[in-house]
Amino acid sequence: MIVILMPGGAVQQVRNDEILWYRQAFKVEWEGATMVMLASGPIYSRESESDLAAKFTSAGVRLVRVTPPDADILMTVNAGTVRQVNDASSGIFGPNARSLLVFFGGPHLAIKEAPEEIRQKLGLPAMGPTMSA
């Protein structure tokens, strides 16, 4: 189990396979926190992205940096929880979205990286599904 330090002194224990992605929280969410998307939904940590990266990596989580299609930030995904990479529909996810990451349990995340590029970074087969979403 990985212990995530939350604002206000609370802690939450999570399993490696519960972590989908994380990023700096937006001001409207929880200014100064890091948003960690779990399979069950988002939580907020008072730990920095680099502190979480060190903690997750030491627990065996393989992390990959990605770029969202419509924000000037970087996000980090848990490569072990991505089950599929699809072509992203620009009509749904915007003109800069090139790939759609599909996670175990159904959540998905649109990103700027091309499908073949992100499949390689994630360690997924190069000839994976290319359905449009």
Residue 113 to residues 9, 24, 32, 102, 119, Cα–Cα distance (Å): 36, 19, 27, 14, 10
List the chain domain ranges: 2-122
**Bridge pairing between strands 19-24 and 41-45:** unpaired
Rounded CA separation 23/27 (Å): 12
Question: Please, what is the Cα angle at 22 between 18 and 28, to 5 degrees?
Answer: 120
CATH architecture of 2-122: Beta Barrel (2.40)
pTM score: 0.90
Q: How far is CA 65 from the centre of its chain?
A: 8
Cβ atoms of 49 and 57 closer than 8 Å: no
* 47-52 contacts, C-beta under 8 A, 24 or more apart: 47/4, 47/5, 49/22, 49/23, 49/24, 49/76, 52/4, 52/22
Q: pLDDT tens per residue, the chain (133 residues)?
A: 999 999 999 999 999 999 999 999 999 999 999 999 999 999 999 999 999 999 999 999 999 999 999 988 999 999 999 999 999 999 999 999 999 999 988 899 999 999 999 999 999 887 544 454 4
CB atoms within 10 A of CB 42: 14
